[in-house]
Each structure stands twice: as structure tokens, then as C-alpha cells.
């Protein structure tokens, strides 16, 4: 079973609030990712990291930011949440250098912005 954890599992907040979605993994993986998924739709990459102090934006434009100060921790922050940010956010990790890009996913955070 994958050792990657996301908190909170569900979050309902008001517009304009600052929020941080937590993601931690205990597998020592260098690569970590944040995906956004709406019901019945594709996963879209919003941020990724290849290691400590490495962060990049993904393909989907996002107003969120991430940080990677420690290998195991990859939090995502929204400075001012809006209803358009309502979605499922999935964190994942994988091993660097592996040709088999097996992603281990966390259980996700379902965010609702009112």
C-alpha cells in the first residue's frame, strides 16, 4: 500500500480564504506531483517537483503555489480561494530514474469553495 498522505480529505471554505493542502510521502521519492481532477474528467498536472527546492508548473494554469523544502513534503497553497477552484486535488509521487513511471497517489482532497 502506498505511503502517501493528503490532508484534509474534504474542505469547504469561503471565497477569499487562504488554504494549504498538505501532502507527505514516506517512500523517499524524489518526484512529486499535484493533479486536479473534476468528476468524469482527465487528471491535469498543475505542479511537479523533481526534488528539494525544485518546483515547476504543469500544463494546467493554476493560481496555486507549491514548495518543496523537504523530500517528503509537498504542500499546495491557494492565497485566495475562489469558487472556480472547487475540484479534487490529487498528490502523487514516483521514484527518480525509474522507467516505469508508477505513480503512487494520495487519497485526494475534495475542495469546495463557496
Partner 1 sequence: QKEVEQNSGPLSVPEGAIASLNCTYSDRVSQSFFWYRQYSGKSPELIMSIYSNGDKEDGRFTAQLNKASQYVSLLIRDSQPSDSATYLCVVEGDSSYKLIFGSGTRLLVRP
End-to-end CA distance of the chain: 34
Q: What is the distance between the alpha carbons of residues 51 and 98, in angstroms, rounded to a whole number?
A: 14
- Of 90, 93, 111, 113, the residue at the interface with partner 1 (CB under 8 A) is 90
Instruction: Rule CB under 8 A: say whether 61 interacts with partner 1.
Output: no
Instruction: Rule CB under 8 A: say whether 103 interacts with partner 1.
Output: yes
Footprint on residues 1-20 left by partner 1 (CB under 8 A): none
- Count H helices, E strands: the chain? 0, 11
Q: What is the distance between the alpha carbons of residues 55 and 74, in angstroms, rounded to a whole number?
A: 10
Exposed, middle or buried: residue 65 (CB in 10 Å: 0-12, 13-18, 19+)? middle
Footprint on residues 37-56 left by partner 1 (CB under 8 A): 40-45, 48, 50, 56
CB of 9: closest distance to partner 1 in angstroms? 11
**Which of these ranges, 13-21, 33-41, 66-74, 75-83, lies near partner 1 under the rule CB under 8 A?**
33-41
Q: Decide: helix, strand or coil at residue 80.
A: coil
CB of 66: closest distance to partner 1 in angstroms? 14
Instruction: Kindly tell me the sign of the dihedral angle through the C-alpha atoms of 92, 96, 102, 104.
Output: negative
**Which of these ranges, 17-25, 67-75, 78-86, 101-109, lies near partner 1 under the rule CB under 8 A?**
101-109
Binding residues vs partner 1 (CB under 8 A): 31, 33, 35, 40-45, 48, 50, 56, 59, 90, 99-103, 105-108
Amino acid at each position: 500500500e502506498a505511503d502517501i498522505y493528503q490532508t484534509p480529505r474534504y474542505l469547504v471554505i469561503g471565497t477569499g480564504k487562504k488554504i494549504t493542502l498538505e501532502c507527505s510521502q514516506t517512500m523517499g521519492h524524489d518526484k512529486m506531483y499535484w493533479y486536479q481532477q473534476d468528476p468524469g474528467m482527465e487528471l491535469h498536472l498543475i505542479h511537479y517537483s523533481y526534488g528539494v527546492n525544485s518546483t515547476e508548473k504543469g500544463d494546467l494554469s493554476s493560481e496555486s503555489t507549491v514548495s518543496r523544502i523537504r523530500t517528503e513534503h509537498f504542500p499546495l497553497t491557494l492565497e485566495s480561494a475562489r469558487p472556480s477552484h472547487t475540484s479534487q486535488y490529487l498528490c502523487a509521487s514516483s521514484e527518480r530514474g525509474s522507467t516505469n513511471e508508477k505513480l503512487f497517489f494520495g487519497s485526494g482532497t475534495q475542495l469546495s469553495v463557496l
